[in-house]
C-alpha cells in the first residue's frame, strides 16, 4: 500500500492548565517521576484542530481526548459541529473524563462524579442532521436546540 492509499490523522490532547502545586497525581506516576512537560504544553484543542484541518484537505483530525466534563456541553457541541463542518467531515471526536482531579475541580467538576457527567456532552453533540440536541443532566434545564454550522 502506497502513501496515497493511506489515511493519516493527527490527534490533539486537551488540558486547559496543569496546577503547579497541590494534588497532581497522574496515572504513570507510580515510579515517583515528575509529570512530563507534554501535559502542560497543549494548544487549545479546538483551535489546533481547526488549524490542522485547514492546512490540508486529506488529513483526519481528532481529539484524543476532549475533557468534556470540564467544558460547557453546548459550547462543546458547537465546537465539535464546527470543526467537523470546516474539515469536510474529517473530524474524529474522542471524549473522556480525565484524570487530573485538581484540574477538574478548577472547572467545577467533582472528581467522583466525572464518569456520570461524561455521557451528557457526548449525547448533546449534534450528529450533523437536523435532529434537535437534547441536553440533559447539568444542562437539562435547557429546551431542545438546533445547531448546524453551515455558512450559506
21 or 76, which is more confident? 76
Q: Which of 36, 38, 23 minimizes the C-alpha distance to 101?
A: 23
pLDDT in tens, 29-73: 555 566 777 877 889 999 999 999 999 999 999 999 999 999 887
Mean pLDDT of the chain: 78
86 or 132, which is more confident? 86
pLDDT more than 90, % of the chain? 41
135 or 42, which is more confident? 42
Identify the band that residue 130 occupies on the pLDDT scale cut at 50, 70 and 90: very low
| Lookup: cell for 26 | 497522574
End-to-end CA distance of the chain: 39
The C-alpha atoms of residue 101 and residue 109 are separated, in whole angstroms, by 9
Q: Within the chain, how many helices (H) and strands (E) appear?
A: 4, 5
Taking 90 as the threshold, does the pLDDT of residue 123 lie above it? no
Q: Which domains does the chain have, with CATH numbers?
A: 8-139 (3.20.20.30)
Taking 60 as the threshold, does the pLDDT of residue 136 lie above it? no
Taking 90 as the threshold, does the pLDDT of residue 5 lie above it? no
Amino acid at each position: 500500500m502506497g502513501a496515497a492509499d493511506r489515511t493519516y490523522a493527527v490527534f490533539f490532547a486537551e488540558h486547559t492548565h496543569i496546577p503547579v502545586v497541590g494534588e497532581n497525581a497522574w496515572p504513570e506516576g507510580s515510579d515517583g517521576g515528575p509529570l512530563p512537560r507534554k501535559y502542560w504544553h497543549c494548544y487549545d484543542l479546538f483551535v489546533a484542530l481547526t488549524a490542522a484541518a485547514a492546512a490540508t484537505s486529506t488529513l483526519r483530525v481528532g481529539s484524543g481526548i476532549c475533557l468534556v466534563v470540564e467544558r460547557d456541553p453546548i459550547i462543546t457541541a458547537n465546537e465539535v459541529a464546527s470543526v467537523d463542518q470546516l474539515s469536510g467531515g474529517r473530524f474524529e471526536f474522542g471524549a473522556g473524563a480525565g484524570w487530573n482531579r485538581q484540574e477538574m475541580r478548577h472547572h467545577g467538576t467533582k472528581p467522583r462524579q466525572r464518569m456520570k457527567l461524561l455521557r451528557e456532552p457526548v449525547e448533546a453533540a449534534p450528529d450533523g442532521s437536523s435532529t434537535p440536541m437534547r441536553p440533559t443532566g447539568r444542562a437539562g434545564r435547557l429546551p431542545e436546540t438546533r445547531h448546524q454550522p453551515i455558512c450559506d
